[in-house]
Amino acid sequence: MNTTNRNKVSIAVLLLCGSALWIIPSQIEDGETSFAAGAALLPDVAVSLILFLTLLELIHSLVKTARSVAGREQALANDVPLKNAQVLAVVFVTGAMSIYAFVLPVAGYLLSSTLLLGFLMLCTGAPRSRQVIAVTFAIVLILYLGMKFGFGVNIKALPDLAFLGG
């Protein structure tokens, strides 16, 4: 069976979604189980939706290419080209997000999200550092206030300094 780049990306997304669903409960400890009406509900539903739609697309693509030679030729002709730079960019962002997931419980939402967003914006070629800083602070603060007062999600905002012995 010939797998296209599109199939490979779908499989990678499925693996990342599975990892996210496995990690989310340990990152958002609100006393609720997964998919309960708590802080983890929105991320769980969003990741599950991405997982379901990606799985649906992958199955459709594999069935279409397996049915006929014409379907296989069409899939290969319409395949998404992947260049090394694109693959490295995905690995880079995935790595940054993985580090963020482990830093978040210790550093808190405001600090870790500000660092992640600013880092990604600067690395992707944002032209002006002052604007990046202003936009980063504004986005992180708006998201935090929206989660806290809009959705009632109590997420740790500030770093945990207890490990310093204080």
CA-CA distance, 108 to 92, in Å (whole number)? 22
Q: Is residue 46 in a domain?
A: yes
Q: How far is CA 131 from the centre of its chain?
A: 24
What is the pTM (predicted TM-score) of this model? 0.59
CA-CA distance, 161 to 166, in Å (whole number)? 7
HSE-CB at 9 with a 13 A cutoff on CA atoms is 14
In this structure, are 33 and 68 located in the same domain? yes
Average pLDDT over residues 29-47: 65
> What would the pLDDT profile of 111-126 be if each residue is shown by its tens digit?
888 888 888 888 777 7
Q: What is the pLDDT of residue 157?
A: 79
- Give every CB contact of residue 53 below 8 A, 6+ residues apart in sequence: none
> What would the pLDDT profile of 123-153 be if each residue is shown by its tens digit?
777 777 788 888 889 999 998 888 788 877 7
Q: Among 38, 54, 82, give the residue marking a domain's end.
A: 82
Could you tell me the residue range of the domain that residue 47 belongs to? 1-82
> What would the pLDDT profile of 83-101 be if each residue is shown by its tens digit?
788 778 878 888 888 888 7
In this structure, are 30 and 42 located in the same domain? yes
> What would the pLDDT profile of 65-85 be if each residue is shown by its tens digit?
777 777 677 767 777 777 788
In this structure, are 102 and 149 located in the same domain? yes
In this structure, are 2 and 70 located in the same domain? yes
